[in-house]
Amino acid sequence: MIRFVPVSGFKDCVLPVLELDVAALNAMAGTIDSVYRYRNIRPKAIAAVATGAIPVREIVSHEFDFADCIGAITYSAAHRDEVIKAVVRM
């Protein structure tokens, strides 16, 4: 069964939650495997940006100053339909 729960502090933001019967899984000697899909791709991502394969300037829709980090997060969460990629300038 999959259900969705609201995320605290973010209006209309929900995350999927998978409910498992751990006792039944244990009785069946079940195994759960997890995959972190972004593992070890940082060098490829940096190379893609460096060569222009990923057009970063075209992806960024909003820029914020470092002093306004909290405002950037708040704005991005409240305007998910219009924020493609927000960047905080250091």
Tokens, residue 49: 């940006």
Q: Which of 61, 59, 68, 58 is nearest to 89 (CA)?
A: 68
pLDDT at 74: 92
DSSP 53: S
pTM score, two decimals? 0.46
12 alpha-carbon distance from chain centroid: 16
Condensed to tens digits (0 to 9), the pLDDT of residues 25-76 reads 888 888 877 766 777 788 888 899 899 998 888 889 999 999 999 999 999 9
Binning the chain into helix, strand and coil, the percentages to the nearest 5 are 35, 20, 45
